[in-house]
Amino acid sequence: MKTCNKCGAQSYRVESQFCQKCGERLPEVDNNLPKQNICTNENCEWHKSKFIYPDDARFCDVCGSPTVYAVS
């Protein structure tokens, strides 16, 4: 489940990209889970394996994409 950062509406579909109520782009990851610092690049091996970076890691060391903590 993803939650809209703007209006708080929830989307139950993993495929959802935008909020049904306000059109805001939804976060890449399910932000109702305990927040884990993972790579935001869906094509990255570390993203797929849900490798968790330390809290101070801002970028994936494999693909260079921002981590969840860098985006938020």
Ordered alpha helix ranges (H), the chain: 45-48, 68-71
Binding of Zn ion by 1 (CB under 5 A): no
Part in contact with Zn ion (CB under 5 A); list of ranges 10-18, 27-35, 54-62: 54-62
Binding of Zn ion by 68 (CB under 5 A): no
In sequence order, the 6+-apart residues with CB closer than 8 A to the CB of 11 are: 1, 2, 3, 4, 19, 20, 26
Binding site for Zn ion (CB under 5 A): 4, 6-7, 9, 19, 21-22, 24, 39, 41, 44, 46, 60, 62-63, 65
